Amino acid sequence: MTNAKPLLKIRDLQIDGISDETRSRVINKVSLDLYPGEVLGLIGESGAGKSTLGLAGMGFTRDGCEIVGGSIEFDGIDLVNSTVEKRRQLLGSRIAYVAQSAAASFNPSHKIINQHTEAPVFHRKFSRIDAETDAINLYRRLRLPQPEMIGFRYPHQLSGGQLQRAMTAMAMSCRPDLIIFDEPTTALDVTTQIEVLSAIRDIVKQFSTAAIYITHDLAVVAQMADRIKVLLRGDEVEENTTRAMLKSPRESYTKSLWAVRSFERKQKPPAKTGAIPVISLKNVTAAYAMNDPVVRDVSFDIHAGRTVAVVGESGSGKSTAARCITGLLPPLTGSISFDGTALQPDYRQRSNEQLRQMQMIYQMADTALNPRKKIGEIIGRPVEFYLGLTGREKRRRVEELLAQIELEPTEFIDRYPAEISGGQKQRIGIARALAAEPKFIICDEVTSALDQLVAEGILRLLTDLQDKMQLSFMLITHDLSTVRAIADEVVVMKDGVVVESGPKNDMFKPPHHAYTDLLLSSVPNMDPDWLDNLLASRGVDNIGDAAIEKMNES
């Protein structure tokens, strides 16, 4: 597989990032070799410098970044010291880029096919007509619906997954030697992701294009890459072929990344029959606008000391169900009861005591904490409001809570949210919920915005707290590995309806509803052959959005 000369040669690259007055080292002496037709996976957590490295491979730096050392050679051409014109000749024609957000990377004022043919015509690779025909062929290969017509639409008329594939086609338009894929599927649903992954892999193989695939998802990189390189805050950690890396990682950081996916808690025994559930939804239907119900006839129970995971993709209605429970969106029909007593539909009519028993932890830690308040005040307010403690007693309680979430009290109590990390902010969110001493906590995608190592820490903390305090959790998530990790029961929602529900162990074993089957099978796991096996078993046309449409039709 390796030829004599590498296509892309990076040696001891050093890149600095400048913001305001401070300089920070974003890439610290990283080297890599990429041979023609090879796919290199670049993984690391956020802030590792993967995007910066990928763009540097094209000779491009974003505003605020500066190459301060090392060399970048593409097919013998020195990218660091060549003129702007020279580099521009390579961009788009021999090296292409696929961005994370396709919706933002397409110009909203031009049709898709015009943006596709622009690069080959400008770089004089194809004539206009030929480029258009080629585009339609690429769309057909990437299994876009209506390939002859889809290019003649505007970007806002296509879905996220379709746009991502159109962007891949656009990158292919000049038949480049190298494509940089910068987290192309991170923003997509699991079922959409699978289609895009198979399309990308297929087309890269067909044209023998070299590729750098950047992602933070280990299972995805296992499917796509021949070799994997791990980055940690700008430093190289390890590099190896995929199979070798997966089987026996050498460095401890790599090992910890791999181990994250194996955290799993045993399912608790089922609740006693006749026990009054902490939260009970019965036939709840709710809508934002009059004739468009977002949640339809939903019923499920959450018992004391147990975690119920509500799983679904975007638009499934899981967050809306949570808003009904908290009283922010009064349901049109149906009832919600707490400990057997029916709750008023609107939160403004509930008593403070009822509000206290139900707390919520949010997904985005940045918007979940008031940036102008100190940590001590954020946690202290519920203590003062519900329990009436003030002064020294309040401070003592706040310190207790900080210790419970495993943060050093004296260090954090006077800090502001902007000064602490995402994982720490999420812990503060948990402490704020605990401060009210509730019985039930809604966890709304609490780990979706966090890196995997940090997310694992949060999940462990939640399970510890549940064991100690007999809390009940409603875990809203789209990530099945989180479900496998800490759920006791699972409720699967699609388009506002409960498709399936039951104990966790039953869910992960067939037989189940077709949608659940699709969902489970679309989640990549760490086996490099997983994608091939899936395509072989389900067939190329029966995955992702295409499969969902088939399901809706039948």
Partner 1 sequence: MLPGDFAQALLGQAATPEAVAAIRADLGLDRPIATRYFDWLLRAARGDFGTSFAQANFSAYVGENSSSNYGSVATQLAPRFANTVFLASVTAVIAIPISLIIGILAALYRYSVFDRVANVSTLTSISSPEFFVAYILILVLAVLNPLLPSLSNIFDGMSFGERLEKTLLPALTLTLVVTAHMMRMTRAAIINLLASPYIEMARLKGLSPFRVIVVHALPNALAPIINVVALNLAYLITGVVVVEVVFVYPGIGQLFVDSVKIRDIPVVQACCMVFASAYILLNLLADIMAILSNPRLRMPK
Partner 2 sequence: MTGTSGLIWLVFIIAMSLLLRPIGRRVPIAPFQHACTGMSLGGAFGYSIAIATIYLMCWLYFVKELIFFQWFVQGVIGLGIAGYLFRLAGQHFGTDGSRKMFRQMPVTAALGIIIIIGYAIMSIFADWLAPYGQAEIFAKVNVLPGGNPDLGGDPAHLLGTDQIGRDLLSRLIYGGQNTVGIAFITTCLAFLIGTFFGFLAAALGGWFDQALSRIVDMLMSIPQLIFALLLMTIASAWAGSEKWLLTIYMILIIAVLDATRVFRLSRAVGMNIVVMDFFEAAKLRGEKMPYLIFNEILPNAFAPLLAEFGLRFCFVFLTIASLSFLGVGIQPPLADWGTMVKDLAQFINFAVFSPLTAALPLMAASAIALLTVAVNFVVDWMLHRTSGLRE
Q: Which of residues 481-540 bind partner 2 (CB under 8 A)?
A: none
- Please, what is the minimum distance in Å from the beta carbon of residue 157 to partner 1? 6
Q: Is 53 in the site for partner 1 (CB under 8 A)?
A: no
Using CB under 8 A as the binding rule, the residues of this chain from 24 to 43 that contact partner 1 are: none
Contact partner at residue 89 from partner 1, partner 2, none, CB < 5 to 8 Å by partner kind: partner 1
Contacts of 354 (CB under 8 A, 6+ apart): 338, 343
Q: Which stretch binds partner 1 (CB under 8 A): 31-39, 95-103, 270-278, 411-419?
A: 95-103
Q: Under the criterion CB under 8 A, does residue 371 sit at the interface with partner 2?
A: yes
Instruction: Please give the residues from 109 up to 148 whose contact with partner 1 meets the rule CB under 8 A.
Output: 109-110, 118-119, 122-123
Q: How many CA atoms lie within 13 A of 35 on its CB side?
A: 9
Yes or no: say if 54 and 214 are a contact pair by the CB < 8 Å rule.
yes
Helices (H), 307-374: 318-326, 352-357, 365-368
Closer residue to partner 1, CB minimum distance, 10 or 58: 58
Residue 67 region by backbone torsions, left for phi larger than 0, else alpha for psi between -120 and 50, else beta: beta
Q: Which does 91 bind (CB under 5 to 8 A by kind): partner 1, partner 2, none?
A: partner 1
CB 113 within 8 A of CB 174: no
**Is residue 93 within the footprint of partner 1 (CB under 8 A)?**
yes
Q: Which residues pair with 40 in a beta bridge?
A: 212, 227
**φ, ψ at 63 (rounded to 5°):** -60, 135
Q: Is 175 in the site for partner 1 (CB under 8 A)?
A: no
For partner 1, the closer of residues 48 and 102 by Cβ is 102
How far is residue 527's CA from residue 524's CA, in Å, rounded to a whole number?
Answer: 8
Nearer to partner 1, 117 or 357 (CB): 117
Dihedral sign of CA atoms 365, 367, 370, 374 in order: positive
Q: Is 285 left (phi over 0), alpha (psi -120 to 50) or beta?
A: beta
Say which entry of partner 2, partner 1, none residue 135 contacts (CB below 5 to 8 A, set by partner kind): none
CA distance 390 to 123: 71
Question: Residue 288 and residue 45: Cα distance in Å, rounded?
Answer: 37
Closer Cβ to partner 2, 173 or 359, answer by number: 359
What whole-number distance in Å separates Cα of residue 388 and Cα of residue 38? 64
210 close to 196: Cβ distance less than 8 angstroms: no
| Identity of the residue, 154 or 288, whose beta carbon is nearer to partner 1 in the bound complex | 154
504 and 480 in contact (C-beta within 8 Å)? no
Please report the DSSP string for 242-296 in residue order.
HHHHHH---SHHHHHHHHGGG---PPPPPPPTTPPPSEEEEEEEEESSTT-EEEE
CA distance 194 to 196: 5
Q: In one letter, which amino acid is 190?
A: V
Residue 540 interacts, among partner 1, partner 2, none and using kind-specific CB cut-offs from 5 to 8 Å, with none
Stretch that binds partner 1, among 5-13, 86-94, 239-247, 410-418 (CB under 8 A): 86-94
Its sign, for the CA torsion 461, 466, 469, 473, is: positive
The label of the residue with tokens 């799993």 reads 264
- Does position 75 bind partner 1 by CB under 8 A? no
Closest CB to partner 2 among residues 124, 372: 372
- DSSP state for residue 370 in the 8-state scheme: -
Q: How many CB atoms lie within 10 A of CB 176?
A: 23
By CB under 8 A, what part of segment 423-462 binds partner 2?
432, 436
530 binds, options partner 2, partner 1, none, Cβ within 5 to 8 A by partner type: none
> Residues near 551 by Cβ (< 8 Å), separated by ≥ 6?
514, 515, 518
SS3 211: strand
Minimal distance in Å, beta carbon 234 to partner 1? 22
Q: Candidates 108-116, 133-141, 323-331, 423-431 — which segment interacts with partner 1 by CB under 8 A?
A: 108-116
**Interacting partner of 391 out of partner 1, partner 2, none (Cβ under 5 to 8 A depending on kind):** none
Kindly tell me which of 81 and 107 has the beta carbon lying closer to partner 1.
Answer: 107
Q: Which does 369 bind (CB under 5 to 8 A by kind): partner 2, partner 1, none?
A: partner 2
Nearest alpha carbon to residue 27 among 182, 228, 231, 257: 231
Q: How many residues sit close enough to partner 1 to count as binding (CB under 8 A)?
A: 27
Stretch that binds partner 2, among 214-222, 359-367, 509-517, 542-550 (CB under 8 A): 359-367
Residues 151-170 that bind partner 1 (CB under 8 A): 154, 156-157
**Of the candidates 276, 304, 355, 453, which one interacts with partner 2 according to CB under 8 A?**
355
Q: Is the dihedral of CA 97, 101, 105, 108 positive or negative?
A: positive
Which one of residues 326, 335, 448, 463 is an interface residue with partner 2 (CB under 8 A)? 326
Residue in 328, 342, 403, 469 binding partner 2, rule: CB under 8 A: 328
Using CB atoms within 10 A of its CB, is residue 8 exposed (0-12), middle (13-18) or buried (19+)? buried
334 lies in the site for partner 1, by CB under 8 A: no
Q: Is 64 in the site for partner 1 (CB under 8 A)?
A: no
Q: Does 91 bind partner 1 (CB under 8 A)?
A: yes
Q: How far is the CB of 371 from partner 2 (least distance, A)?
A: 7
Q: What is the DSSP letter of 460?
A: H
Stretch of 84-92, 415-423, 442-450, 522-530 contacting partner 1, by CB under 8 A = 84-92
Between 315 and 330, name the residue whose CB sits nearer to partner 1: 315
Of residues 9 and 381, the one with the C-beta less far from partner 2: 381
Q: Is 515 in the site for partner 1 (CB under 8 A)?
A: no
CB 127, min distance to partner 1, A: 17
Binding site for partner 2 (CB under 8 A): 20-21, 326-328, 347, 352, 355, 360, 362, 364, 367-373, 381-382, 385-386, 432, 436
Binding site for partner 1 (CB under 8 A): 58, 60, 62, 88-93, 96-97, 99, 101, 104-110, 118-119, 122-123, 154, 156-157
